[in-house]
Amino acid sequence: RLVLNCTARTELNVGIDFNWEYPSSKHRHKKVVIRDLKTQSGSEMKKFLSTLTIDGVTRSDQGQYICEASSGMMTVKSNTSVRVHEKPFIAFDSSMESLVEATVGDRVKVPVKYLAYPTPEIKWYKNGKPIESNHTIKGEKELVITEVSEKDTGNYTVILTNPMSKERQSHMVSLVVNVPPQIGEKSLISLVDSYQYGTTQMLTCTVYSVPPPHHIRWYWQLEECAYKPSHAALMTNPQTCTGWRDVDDFQGGNKIEVNKNQFAIIEGKNKTVSTLVIQAANVSALYKCEAINKVGRGERVISFHVTRGPKVTLQPHAQPTEQERVSLQCSADRTMFEDLTWYKISSQALPSHAGELPTPVCKNLDALWKMNAYKFTNGTSDILIMELQNASLQDQGDYVCFAQDRKTKKRHCVVRQLTVLERVAPMITGNLENQTTSIGETIEVSCTTSGNPPPQVTWFKDNETLVEDSGIVLKDGNRNLTIRRVRKEDEGLYTCQACSVLGCAKVEAFFIVEGAQEKTNLEVIILVGTAVIAMFFWLLLVIVLRTVKRANGGELKTGYLSIVMDPDELPLDEHCERLPYDASKWEFPRDRLKLGKPLGRGAFGQVIFGQVIEADAFGIDKTATCKTVAVKMLKEGATHSEHRALMSDSRSSFILAIISMWSIF
C-alpha cells in the first residue's frame, strides 16, 4: 500500500482544490483513493489535506507523483518520486571503507553506506562485543569516536537487519590507531648525571610507536652552548642549542659507537631500544636521540656531564631505611682539588615537566642548599662526610658534592640521589591453606613476606621450632617449606612467623596425613635392599659351585670310579640310576657275585669276602674262572642316615684302596 499526503495552508476565506498526477492514472483498473479534508489550523490560517492511497502497489506505480493545489487565483505544485521494489533487500555499498587509520587524539567518523528497503536496523560491534554508546563513542548510522586512543584499535563490525525479511548483512572495518614515537626515558624526571672521566658509558632511548620508527638517529653538541643563565632566571627553558651534529662527526667530542637497534617486549608492548656507547668519557656534551615514523617524531636530550673531580659513596648501603644512620662521603685528590662542599638540590632545580631538559647543576647554585659536613684527610685525598643520624623520608633527594680545580678554578660536581625507604611492619601475603595428603607424598608451601627491614622467617610445628632433617627442606630464607616422603608424625599445625624490630606476623595451616604408616625410612630401605642383593649373590654362588662340581664329576680319568651326589636330592633307590660312570664298565649282575664270610665291621657297614663268577667289570681278571673281591655293604637293619653315610664314604680313596687290596687277595 502506498499513501501520499499533500498539505496546503491558506487564509480563512480561501478554498482549495487538489489535483493528482501519477503514473497509473491511465490504468482505469487501478483503484486509487483520493480524500480531501479541511482542518482548522489556527485563528488566521486554514489547513487542507489531500491523501492518495494505492492498494496492491506494482512496478507500474513507480514514477513521479505530482500534487497540485489551486485556489482559483493561484496554483502550487509539489512532486516526489516513488520507487517500487519487487522484494525487500539489503546490501552494503562497495565504497564503504574496510580499513581506517587515525592518529592518537583524532576524531574518527565511519559512515555506514548501504542500499536497502525498508530501512534496516543498524548495530555496531567491537571485537565481537556490542558497542555501548557513551560520550566518546557512538554507533548508529555512523561510528563516531570523538578522541581516539590506542585502546580503540580493533575490528569493528556493523550488522544490518532487514525488518521485513530478517535478512542480515555484515561488514568489518579495521581501525588502526597510529602513535607518534614516545621515548620512555623522557617520562622520568631526573637531574643531570655526572660521569667519571675516562669511563665507558652507555646511553639508551627506548622508543614505542605505531608503526615502529623508520629510524632512530643520534646527535651531539658541546654542553657549554646549551645554558643561558638569563633564561633560567626567567623560569624558561635555558637550553637553546641548535648546532646539532651527527654522532659520526665526533671531532672535538667523545669517541662513540651506536649499537644496532634491538627489539623487546616491555610492559606488554613491542619497543625499539637504541644504544649509544661512549667509549671514553672525556668531554661534557649534550646528546639527542630522535625517532621518526610516518605520523610524527619524538626526541630526548641527555646532558652528559664529565668530571675528573670527586667520588661519592654512600654508607652503609645504597637504600637505607628510616631511622638508620646514613653517611655520604665525597673524596677528591687534594693536590688537584679544593673547597669540597655538600649541597642539597631544591625543587627549583628540577624540570617542571617530565622530559624537559634540566638546568646543569654546577651552573645553578641558587637552587642549592648548603649542608653541614666535616672533612678529614686520608693520604693524598680529602674526604668530606655529611651524616644523617636518623634518616627520614624528608631527607630524600639529590645531593651534590662540589670541588674546585686548584689550577683552572673550574667547578666539578657529582650528583648522588638518596632514597630512604619507609619502615614497614612485617606482613605475610596470602594465607597458608590446610592440606590433606597421603603417606609418602610431598608437601610444598610458600610463605611470602614483605616489610622493611626485611623480616626473618621461622617455621613452627605444633608450636615447636621446625628444623631441617632428611625429609624437611627450607629454602629462600625459610620462605619455602618442602616436606618429602611424608610420614604420619608430620601431621600437625604448621606456623609461618615473620619478625623484625617492628613486630611479627604469622599464618597457620593444618596438615592432615592419611593412610597407614609404612616403614619407608631410608635406613630400612637400605637394609632390605642389601639383604636382597646378598641373597641373590648367595644363590648365584651356590648355583655356580653346583655346576662346577657336576662338570668335574663328568671328567673322570679312565680306570677310576668317582661317586659324587647329594643324598638329599633324590631317594636312595634312584641314586644308582644317576651315578656318574659307565654302568657297562663298572657293574655286573648280582647273581654273578657269591658272598662269603665277613672280613670286617664298622660303625654302620661291613666288608664281606666275595667271588665273582664269569663277570666282566673294571679290575677283574678275565682269564681266571673265579675272581675274589671284597664287598662293602651295610649291616642288617641299617637306618636312612647310615645309608647316606655309606654313600658318603664310598667317595673316599681309602675305600677304593681296600677294594683293590681285597681284589688282589
Q: Give the residue numbers of the binding site for ATP.
A: 632
C-alpha span between 426 and 405 (Å, rounded): 49
Task: State the residue for C-alpha cell 516513488.
Answer: 82
C-alpha span between 375 and 329 (Å, rounded): 9
Inter-residue contact 579 to 565 (CB < 8 Å):
yes
Annotation: binding site = 632
Strand partners, 271: 264
Task: State the residue for C-alpha cell 661317586.
Answer: 563
For the sheet with 108-111, list strands across it: 108-111, 142-145, 137-139
Buried b (16+ CB within 10 A) or exposed e, 585-614: eeebeeeebeeeeebeeeebbbbbbbebee
Inter-residue contact 335 to 347 (CB < 8 Å):
no
Cis peptide before 211 (omega within 30 of 0): yes
User: 3-state SS string over 217-242?
Assistant: EEEEEEHHHHCCHHHHHCCCCCCCCC
Inter-residue contact 305 to 328 (CB < 8 Å):
no
Q: Nearest-5° angle of CA 296, CA 302, CA 305?
A: 170
Grid cell at residue 407: 689550577
C-alpha span between 335 and 405 (Å, rounded): 9
Burial of 528 (0-12, 13-18, 19+ CB in 10 A): exposed
Burial of 84 (0-12, 13-18, 19+ CB in 10 A): middle
Inter-residue contact 509 to 491 (CB < 8 Å):
no
Q: Where are the beta strands (DSSP E) in 184-284?
A: 193-196, 201-210, 215-222, 245-246, 256-258, 262-266, 269-278
